[in-house]
Amino acid sequence: MFLTETSIFPSFFHNDTKKKNKKDRAHNKFDLFSHSFDESLLRRLKTLTNSSSTSPLSVAINFSWLSSALEFLSFAHEEAINLLSSLNLDNSLVFYLDNSVKLLDLCNSISSEIERFRHRRLVLNFALHVLNNGSEDPEKLARAKVSLSDWVNSCKGPILDSNNHLENIATDLATRLKEIPRGKISAGERLVRRTIYAVGLVAVFVAGVVVTALRGSSGLVVAVRAPPEFLWAESFNSLCASVSTRPDKKRHLLDELDEIEARIKEVGGVMDDGCGENGERSSSAVKELEMVTGRLGEGSERLGNGVNEIFNSVLRTREGMLEKMRVGQQEPRK
């Protein structure tokens, strides 16, 4: 799809031979850039491989892994910008500006899901506040139990976006990046499109995993596959498959959600038995729930910071490219 061009019209003329040699050198240069970019992504993909997983076909998805996934997306974007900057091609500016808007949209979609997740966590904070104060007021205890139940019920199924916003962004991005303009395309332009398409694939995958995890679902809302022309395609596609296929049959993609539901069930059981008769057991159960709830807060905070860093990086890059275009337009023609 994004293979570099090769000449299929040999010539016996000396001038054409020179042109062909010059074009071959350009192709070799672009191939070298492309291979270096692919190798860097392949090496970084190893950070998303969980060696402690019980099965080679699955990975443990937790907040730490999600943060690493965002770091991988940030790395892919930075590597792409370094490559495009070294090419010094005007068309790379326009193509990046057109498609980076979708990357910003994906960041906004993830941020919205993080904010929704934080809002849901408030019900846990309320229940913990009541339980930690040692209240014996039946009404307050009943409300605390309802809050815990509300959390579990909110995780029974995915919190779907009625407008399928994430799915629409991903589909539109994939379509735009695969579009090839009519007519002959230079090797440089093919490399530009190939590079930005790679970042788009990574962005859709990471956004899909993060949003699915925070929604409390077990199946990915968006699935992607990298074409075989990418050196990292096999590793990337294996990772996508291991995330979407969960042989452990867990209810949630995010491990912390399964853990907190277990703690909620334990606290609820103690409350049913009567806190007064099981004071020590109740205190222990509440403390464990409080620790897990704290990890939810810390994890979502790290994710929010990671998304903000990517968003700001894309904005800075766009501003730099726009300034470069303005300067180029203002330069007097010779």
Q: What is the pLDDT of residue 3?
A: 25
With both helix axes pointing from N to C terminus, report the angle between 165-178 and 90-132 in degrees, rounded to the nearest 10.
Answer: 160
pLDDT-wise least confident of 10-19, 85-94, 95-104: 10-19
Contact predicate 43/79, CB 8 Å? no
E-strand stretches of the chain: none
Put simply, whether the predicted model's pTM sits higher than 0.85 gets the answer no
Computed over every residue of the chain, the mean pLDDT equals 78
Residue 292 CB: number of other CB atoms within 10 A?
18
Cβ-in-10-Å burial (0-12, 13-18, 19+) of 135 comes to middle
Whether the predicted pLDDT of 19 surpasses 60 = no
Query: Tokens for 245?
Result: 């296929």
The per-residue pLDDT for range 195-230, each reduced to its tens digit, is 888 998 999 899 989 988 888 776 777 778 888 889
Query: Tokens for 197?
Result: 């398409």
Query: Tokens for 217?
Result: 């679902």
